[in-house]
Amino acid sequence: MSTKIYQTLIDFFLFEKIFSIIDVVKYMDLQQLKGVGEKTIEHFYQANIYNLEELVSYYPYKYQILQPDTLEESDEKVSLTINATIIDPGKVSYIRKNFNSLRFKVESYGKIINVTIFNRAFLKTHFQIGKEITLIGKYNSKTNTFTANDIKLSKLEGTEIIPVYHLIKGLKNNTLHTLIKEALKEAGVAEYIPETYQEKYKLLPKHEALKKIHTPENTEDIKAAKKTLIYEELFIFMFKIQYLKLLKEKEIGIKKEFPMKAVEAFIATLPFMLTNDQKKGVLESLQDLSSPKKMNRLLLGDVGSGKTIVATVLLYANYLAGFQSAFLAPTEILATQHFLSIRELFKKTEIHIELLIGSMTKKEKQKIVEKVNKGDVDILIGTHAILSEKLVFPNLGLIVTDEQHRFGVSQREFLGVRNEVPDMLFMSATPIPRTYALTIYGDMDTTLIKEKPQGRKDIITKVVKESNLKEVLLKILEEIKQNHQVYVVAPMIEENEDTNLKDVYLLKEKFDLAYHSKIPIGVLHGKLKKNEKESVMQEFKTGRTKILISTTVVEVGVDVKNATVMVIFNAERFGLATLHQLRGRVGRNDLQSYCYLICNEEKERLKVLEESNDGFYISEKDFEFRGEGDLFGTRQSGDMTFKIANLKRDYNVLLAAKKDAQEFLETKNYEKDFKYQKIIKEIDFTN
Ligand code: ADP
Ligand code: MG
């Protein structure tokens, strides 16, 4: 990193007061390492390693265990490790650009063997007759040849265990290992696991665990080190969650009174009967509302399970109790849609409901903000952008946030929440298994909505290769002839709206060509102006356009009941959970719906979607395929990336850590301990 950037960074840190002076000093300690220059430091930064403690917490993800084999073992073993002595250093052939081979002769176990290795021309300079080396690769006893995929320039004495790290750009595994070993000598590491639990589970002291994880002498070392470090990671994780929970339990809410009869009467006006799970959700959240404790509830339900209605009933009760509500949605489209459908449901009431989104004109916004601040608006629906407006709700009693957006203490300020704490309802369609919900949402009460509204048919899903697109085009035509509608999600090249724009239009051209421009097609993407988006959505909703081609902006919550086909291009680029979400845009009434996952190469994991319509099952599978880091999409992955623990495998440890963290918090021993205070500082309170 150039000095200038470095200086800017320091300025930034100081200015933002995100890090204390001590942290800034710590940030420089990577430079203490021998052989670490600006370039390496920059690579470390890119890998989110900013100091020695973080460097020694960069654990290997696997180990290469080298043990000398004999040539006889070549029948059973795919890869053989043998000691050998060079008897002819051989020669390099340059086959084509970036492709060379090195062929040489060795003696091993009394045999003379011809060895080949590719793309290691540089090894040649280290070869002399009589040099002892270790060959790793495949031995063919018939031809007496050895194809090496790795060569060590020394003899293997006994068993050697080499930790293998996830690559950091610019650093060879070996170099990284050396630096970590060096760092182990210098780094000050804090002992986070309280002694009680260290003894209880027979865990290692931190420093020993680190030493064993990076330089194990045998597999026992690895096991013991892992046990300690996994527990530590989960303990810290649960400590944070339990700490948050503790904070939230201390919050005093508003005890709200509303006539239950009137709420029931409102429910009776809804165009359908609530499902049992919806009733449960309504009941539980109404109880929270009328309790003096602050409501902090998560409504977790698969796409299409009907969470919005539950929230709507709650909004009504809150209104009856005499309070204002804010309803936040992640996108403008969604906010607008919620606004329209909720306003419709409240048609026969006196409720004053308004929409506030970022793309409104300054004047429009100002007008609404004034009304809200005067207390004239009962329910304000908007995107998160409304948080930046000068809102001061005189009487805010409830905040509902839709689709995975959790927010907390710091953001409440924006809503002008002062003394009393409004109740909070979070809605998420990320159908994580209950067990994992406990970890991510461990600080909240959870209501699970599993039941789908009656009459819903499973969506028939098919993985289709792009070369077979014709089949899909015909099906689309068939559905449109029945007056149904179609969503098409354009290829996602990058997670960047700009670069994907062109593909939406390109796709439209293709569709126009295929249907001789006879089918009206709408195009939707994030870069459209608010009124453009609205009119595109409106045209689709009213059925004037039959096909809606869009980037993934439709991902969340859009509700067009007449849509029966969802086509997703580049499906292999999405996680199963996201695909399931997208698919949830269709099948929103009793019509049979279809989903086509278009991909260039068929992916085994996509078959899961052909087999199942159950979001919870799918998320389990996604979890198996991709690990927890990806489960929640890029937006949430930060919460859930573990260095060494694996929630699925280590679930029992997690439960133990949860109990221990709770117990530890009760002792209050953390209060005066700098290291735990540091952990508390790391908690993302906005989450
Ligand atoms: P999500 O949980 O994905 O946010 P929505 O709240 O958008 O789901 O509901 C999906 C659709 O199902 C909406 O069109 C809604 O009107 C409808 N719906 C909700 N509850 C019921 C029900 N009990 N019976 C029939 N339709 C329902
Ligand atoms: Mg929804």
Q: Is 583 in the pocket of ligand 1 (CB under 6 A)?
A: no
Tokens found for residue 86: 């060079």
Do residues 296 and 150 share a domain? no
Do residues 145 and 277 share a domain? no
Q: Is 615 in the pocket of ligand 1 (CB under 6 A)?
A: no
pLDDT in the model for residue 558: 65
One DSSP character per residue, 423-485 reads EEEEEE-----HHHHHHHTTTSEEEEE-PPPTTPPPPEEEEEEGGGHHHHHHHHHHHHHTT-E
In a domain, 84, yes or no: yes
Sheet order of strands, 324-329 included: 353-356, 379-383, 324-329, 396-401, 423-428, 296-301, 445-449
Q: Which ligand is nearest to the CA of 303?
A: 1
- Boundary-marking domain end, from 588, 612, 636: 612
Q: Is 422 in the pocket of ligand 1 (CB under 6 A)?
A: no
Query: Packing angle between helix 332-345 and helix 307-320, nearest 10 degrees?
Result: 60
Q: What does the pLDDT look like over 4-39, one tens digit per residue? A: 444 444 444 443 344 444 444 444 578 888 878 888
In a domain, 443, yes or no: yes
In a domain, 647, yes or no: no
Do residues 573 and 505 share a domain? yes
Average pLDDT estimate for 461-469: 93
**567 has a pLDDT exceeding 70:** yes
pLDDT in the model for residue 437: 64
Q: What does the pLDDT look like over 162-179, one tens digit per residue? A: 999 988 888 889 899 999
Do residues 203 and 114 share a domain? no
Residue 437 CA from chain centroid, whole number: 14
pLDDT in the model for residue 7: 47
Cα dihedral 337, 341, 344, 346 in deg (nearest 10): -110
Return the CATH number at 123.
2.40.50.140
Q: Is 451 in the pocket of ligand 1 (CB under 6 A)?
A: no
Ligand 1 atom with the smallest distance to the CA of 305 is 2
Do residues 19 and 38 share a domain? yes
pLDDT in the model for residue 640: 52
In a domain, 673, yes or no: no
Distance 593 CA to ligand 2 centre (A): 19
Share of the chain above pLDDT 90, in %: 47
Q: Is 614 in the pocket of ligand 1 (CB under 6 A)?
A: no
Do residues 382 and 505 share a domain? no
Do residues 421 and 531 share a domain? no
Number of domains in the chain: 4
Residues 319, 257 contacting (CB under 8 angstroms): no
Average pLDDT estimate for 317-338: 90
User: At which residue do the structure tokens 């489209």 appear?
Assistant: 333
- Boundary-marking domain end, from 116, 141, 158: 158
- Boundary-marking domain end, from 107, 134, 158: 158
Do residues 504 and 604 share a domain? yes
Q: Which amino acid is at 350?
A: E
In a domain, 665, yes or no: no
Average pLDDT estimate for 647-666: 89
Q: Is 559 in the pocket of ligand 1 (CB under 6 A)?
A: yes
Ligand 1 atom with the smallest distance to the CA of 455 is 25
Among 298, 300, 305, the mutation site with the greatest number of ligand 1 atoms within 8 A of its Cβ is: 305
Q: Which amino acid is at 73?
A: E
State the pLDDT confidence band at 661, using cuts at 50, 70 and 90. Answer: very high
Q: Is 263 in the pocket of ligand 1 (CB under 6 A)?
A: no
Query: In whole angstroms, how far apart are CA 333 and each of 322, 404, 560, 588?
Result: 29, 16, 12, 18
Distance 402 CA to ligand 2 centre (A): 7
Q: What does the pLDDT look like over 347-357, one tens digit per residue? A: 999 999 999 98
Return the CATH number at 362.
3.40.50.300
Q: Say whether 328 sits in a helix, a strand or coil.
A: strand
Do residues 7 and 106 share a domain? no
In a domain, 315, yes or no: yes
Length of the chain, in residues: 687
Do residues 139 and 284 share a domain? no
Do residues 39 and 87 share a domain? no
In a domain, 630, yes or no: no
Q: Which domain covers residue 44, as residue numbers?
A: 3-62+165-217
**554 has a pLDDT exceeding 90:** no
Neighbouring-strand partners of residue 299: 427, 447
In a domain, 73, yes or no: yes
Do residues 79 and 112 share a domain? yes
Average pLDDT estimate for 269-275: 93
